[in-house]
């Protein structure tokens, strides 16, 4: 049995050759397994067996027991094996505008510049380029599941190209479709969701899932995009979940209470941001089991309502939130940044609130934020039975993170190393549904020069169309 390390080109070649084999086995041996399964916790040294697209087993020396059979064996000694991160909300189509407005300091400026001025110039091709770039960047940084809040669906072709981009990258993608805020569009949404479901989302056992995307209120873009009974009925008839963006402040609090009274909240509804909500709104959300997607750097850096990520409010309501990126026009695109930002902000807030009172600060820890970035993110996206933890039977969405690199050595606390030490450069391998997507620190199947040319050309077109 050949044993390879995480630099061997032979592994990538062999796994590509056997990519279509549903019985293909891969054994990761000798690593520290950070399972994020509450029943298993952290295994300081263990093996993990992949069969086809699923995790078949994990534990001690699986090769000695004969369980590995004819597996491709990869020695991950000195590395951490973790679930892939789960992004619960990103406007992926904007990726060719990365950091174009890094110091935006209020929501109005973002809406005016990006949604009102630049978005109308997007062709279907530009939707493809931006979404593909965002998904590749996600994979590179260890995000194996990404909810694309695709709110520039100007025509059916725009939506088709956004979905195709997710398919072409091999990411576990959630396409959350919404009509545009401003400008001319075909007015096919939400009716077009039925066509999308029939064309791309017929099976529940596939990488892509579909959701309806909406706004909390009609303050930004009018009543057609605001969540309410009509959109809830559309989602219910299609059997899909709902993701609601721009949930903040008193108007959203009133909307949450209306939804609760009408029975429009539940575990299949995700409320995004949730800053500045009233206690009554939070109680209604907790009672209904509604999920919440925080965007720690977005809320703090752009200054959404209170500018404080609502992790304490969520936990007090019995909701363990997922984490998200939001807009790369102004923000970092990786989950390490989100975890660290939330960890620091919450602990600062807790100590500040207790300062001078003699009370013990109610701090969250690194295990909490890693839980938010993995298992709770999967639950928020409606996929916790599929991904989010290293659990036998779940899909093999996982990362190999080098713990002996100069920024991580020596390995003392595995969870602390993932949250506070590691970054994208330490990710030597990414598997999604058992397929190798990153190997030897490089995303596979990407012609970087061609990608650069496509991204620049698309950026220049959309900026030129907007006369920016």
Tens-digit pLDDT profile for residues 388-446: 999 999 999 999 999 999 999 999 999 999 999 999 999 999 999 999 999 999 999 99
Residue 34 is assigned to a structural domain of this protein: yes
Tell me whether residue 296 is in a domain. Answer: yes
Q: Which pLDDT tens digit goes with each residue over 79-105?
A: 999 999 999 999 999 999 999 999 998
Query: Percentage helix, strand, coil, to 5, in the chain?
Result: 40, 25, 35
Domain endpoint, select from 380, 398, 430: 380
Q: What is the pLDDT averaged over residues 217-240?
A: 94
Pair (114, 92) in one structural domain: yes
Residue recorded with tokens 């899932």: 209
Question: Most distant CA pair in the chain: distance in Å?
Answer: 65
* Average pLDDT for the chain: 95
For residue 22, name the pLDDT band (cuts at 50, 70, 90).
confident
Residue 230, class by beta-carbon neighbours within 10 Å (0-12 exposed, 13-18 middle, 19+ buried)?
A: exposed
Residue 63 has pLDDT above 80, yes or no: no
Same domain for 164 and 32, yes or no, is: no
The percentage of the chain sitting over the pLDDT mark of 70, rounded to a whole number, equals 98
Average pLDDT over residues 356-382: 97
For the chain, the domain total comes to 2
Q: 146's torsion region: left (phi>0), alpha (psi -120 to 50) or beta?
A: beta
234-265 pLDDT per residue, tens: 999 999 999 999 999 999 999 999 999 999 99
pLDDT of residue 19 exceeding 80, the answer is no
**Which CATH number does the domain housing residue 160 bear?**
3.20.20.140
Tell me, what's the pLDDT at 354?
95
Average pLDDT value for residue range 313-342: 98
Dihedral of alpha carbons 413, 414, 419, 424, sign:
positive
Whether residue 457 lies inside any domain: the answer is no
For residue 467, is it within any domain?
A: no
Secondary structure tally for the chain: helices H, strands E = 16, 18
Question: Domain for residue 187, yes or no?
Answer: yes
Do residue 199 and residue 311 come from a single domain?
yes
Averaged over 118-134, what is the pLDDT? 98
Residue 16 belongs to a domain? yes
The CATH number assigned to the domain holding 22 equals 2.30.40.10
Kindly state whether residues 79 and 98 are assigned to the same domain: no
Mean pLDDT of 4-32: 84
Residue 462 lies in a domain: no
357's CB contacts (< 8 A; 6+ apart) are none
* Cα(261)–Cα(284) distance, integer angstroms: 9
pLDDT at 2: 55
**Does 307 lie in the same domain as 243?**
yes
For residue range 146-202, list pLDDT tens digits in order: 999 999 999 999 999 999 999 999 999 999 999 999 999 999 999 999 999 999 998
115 lies in the same domain as 187: yes
By C-alpha distance, which of 458, 7, 227, 196 is closest to 188? 196
**Could you tell me if 440 and 12 are in contact, meaning their C-beta atoms sit under 8 angstroms apart?**
yes
- Whether 121 and 169 map to the same domain: the answer is yes
Containing domain of residue 327, as a range? 85-380
Q: Are residues 69 and 162 in the same domain?
A: no
What percentage of the chain exceeds 90 in pLDDT?
90
Residue 254 host element (H or E): helix 249-261
249 within 8 A of 274, measured Cβ to Cβ = no
Shared domain for 23 and 141, answered yes or no, is no
- Residues 232, 308 within the same domain: yes
189 & 202 share domain: yes
Structural domain includes residue 157:
yes
Identify whether residues 351 and 394 lie together within a single domain.
no
């Amino acid at each position: 049995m050949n044993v390879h390390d995480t630099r061997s080109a032979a592994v990538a070649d062999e796994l590509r050759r056997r990519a279509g084999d549903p019985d293909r086995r891969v054994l990761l041996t000798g690593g520290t397994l950070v399972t994020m399964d509450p029943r298993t916790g952290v295994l300081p040294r263990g093996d993990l067996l992949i069969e086809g697209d699923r995790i078949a087993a994990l534990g001690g020396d699986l090769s000695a027991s004969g369980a590995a059979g004819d597996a491709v064996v990869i020695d991950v000694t000195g590395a951490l094996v973790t679930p892939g991160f789960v992004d619960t909300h990103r406007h992926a189509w904007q990726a060719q505008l990365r950091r174009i407005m890094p110091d935006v300091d209020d929501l109005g400026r973002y809406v005016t510049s990006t949604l009102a001025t630049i978005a109308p110039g997007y062709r279907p091709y530009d939707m493809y380029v931006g979404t593909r770039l965002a998904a590749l960047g996600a994979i590179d940084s260890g995000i194996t599941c990404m909810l694309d809040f695709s709110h520039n669906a100007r025509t059916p072709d725009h939506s088709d190209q956004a979905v195709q981009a997710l398919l072409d990258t091999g990411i576990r993608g959630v396409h959350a479709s919404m009509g545009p805020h401003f400008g001319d569009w075909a007015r096919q949404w939400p009716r077009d969701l039925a066509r999308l479901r029939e064309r791309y989302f017929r099976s529940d056992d596939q990488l892509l899932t579909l959701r309806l995307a909406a706004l909390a209120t009609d303050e930004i873009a009018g009543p057609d995009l605001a969540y309410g009974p009509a959109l809830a009925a559309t989602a219910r008839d299609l059997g899909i979940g709902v993701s609601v963006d721009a949930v903040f402040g008193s108007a959203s609090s009133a909307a949450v209470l209306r939804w609760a009274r009408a029975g429009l909240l539940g575990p299949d509804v995700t409320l995004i941001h949730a800053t500045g909500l009233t206690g009554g709104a939070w109680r209604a959300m907790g009672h209904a089991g509604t999920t919440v997607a925080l965007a720690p750097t977005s809320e703090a850096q752009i200054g959404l309502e209170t500018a404080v990520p609502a992790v304490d409010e969520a936990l007090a309501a019995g909701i363990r939130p997922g984490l998200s990126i939001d807009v790369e026009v102004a923000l970092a695109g990786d989950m390490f940044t989100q975890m660290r930002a939330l960890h620091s902000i919450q602990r600062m807030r807790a100590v500040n609130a207790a300062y001078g009172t003699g009370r013990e600060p109610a701090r969250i820890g690194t295990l909490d934020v890693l839980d938010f970035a993995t298992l709770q993110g999967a639950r928020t996206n409606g996929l916790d039975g599929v991904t989010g933890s290293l659990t036998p039977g779940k899909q093999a969405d996982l990362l190999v993170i080098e713990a002996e690199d100069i920024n991580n050595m020596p390995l003392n606390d595995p969870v602390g190393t993932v949250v506070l030490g590691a970054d994208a450069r330490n990710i030597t391998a990414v598997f999604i549904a058992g397929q190798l997507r990153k190997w030897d620190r490089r995303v596979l199947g990407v012609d970087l020069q061609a990608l650069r040319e496509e991204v620049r050309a698309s950026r220049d077109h959309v900026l030129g169309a907007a006369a920016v």
